[in-house]
Amino acid sequence: MSDSTDLTNVTHLPVPDADHPAWSDSAYTIEARGEVAWAEIDLRPDCPLCQGAGRTRVEADGVITMGRCRCQRLPDRIQLFNRARLPARFADATFVSFAQEPSGQLKDLAPSGIMALGECSQWVEGFGPEIENRGIVLHGPVGRGKTHLMVALLRELIFGHGVEVRFIEFSRLLSMLKEGYSSGRSDAGILGELAQVPVLAIDELGKGRLTEWELAVIDEVICRRYNAMGCTISTTNYAPGDPTGFESANLSTAKGPSQNLVDRVGERVYSRLCQVVDFIEVAGKDHRKQG
């Protein structure tokens, strides 16, 4: 049940005094609801410009402009957030909570974690809705906070830039398509939506047994986004680099050889990814093993 209102590149009228609490961009709460992180707006006073109608007129230098009122910016972004379907487990994931405990105490991050945090926040700052944005692949071993960092980045994109974003776990994408097949629906709708959303976030890219059919699905998603010049962000447990030739993933032990991303997704997908994304390593300590 996705709302089809197009909220991409919506502009809100400028106001002379952005300090009125009706125009606050921080009056919201995010919490886990079922499988997803859900945002709700806090109570705000009536908007002095539109009295809640949502549309108004402003006058600047003798020119009158009609449009969407500034007070609608936060509700619009909350709608974007709730459509993004970020996972409930990461409802509290922000750049700040990546580096700090709720008490404010700094976490004991490894240098690569601190660097990855810096690169992700720089990437968000440089993001522009009108330019072709390079994507990101966050890679590293299990439990280093890759998904936390990706969700934090998406949250900044939504609330800071008003960007339409979709989060999908790779195995969930495959099961959605399989459900579609078994109920006689085609995968065109699902794939079409994923191909067109301005920012697509794929969690756990390359995970699973990866049958021929599954590889064809990754190929289609990545290639369609490549052609549409959409921005794709992913996490993966597999490193960039040349094919290893190893047959199995071998992620169960820290020792011994493991496959690279190219072994998992195939050379065609990997080479397209390399053209449109930057790889950022998130290594260091395993957060899940810390008490």
Give residues in contact with Zn ion (CB under 5 A).
47, 49-50, 69, 71
Smallest separation (angstroms) from Zn ion to the CB of 47: 3
Smallest separation (angstroms) from Zn ion to the CB of 78: 15
For the beta sheet containing 277-281, the strands, ordered from the edge strand earlier in sequence to the opposite edge, are 165-169, 199-203, 231-236, 135-139, 277-281
Nearest residue (CB) to Zn ion, 48 versus 241: 48
Pull the structure tokens for residue 72.
């609608």
Pull the structure tokens for residue 287.
């957060």
C-beta separation of 154 from 136 below 8 A: no
Cα–Cα distance between 245 and 267 in angstroms, integer?
12
Smallest separation (angstroms) from Zn ion to the CB of 167: 30
Nearest residue (CB) to Zn ion, 23 versus 98: 23
How many other CB atoms sit within 10 Å of the CB of residue 58? 16
Smallest separation (angstroms) from Zn ion to the CB of 166: 28
Smallest separation (angstroms) from Zn ion to the CB of 9: 19
Nearest residue (CB) to Zn ion, 71 versus 152: 71
Nearest residue (CB) to Zn ion, 23 versus 238: 23
Smallest separation (angstroms) from Zn ion to the CB of 83: 22
Nearest residue (CB) to Zn ion, 24 versus 121: 24
Among all chains, which residue has been given the structure tokens 């339409």? 164
C-beta separation of 232 from 277 below 8 A: yes
Cα–Cα distance between 230 and 227 in angstroms, integer?
8
Which residues does residue 39 pair with via DSSP β-bridges, in sequence order?
Answer: 30
In the chain, the N- to C-terminal Cα span, in Å, equals 39
CA dist 157 → 103, 121, 194, 266 (Å): 26, 10, 17, 30
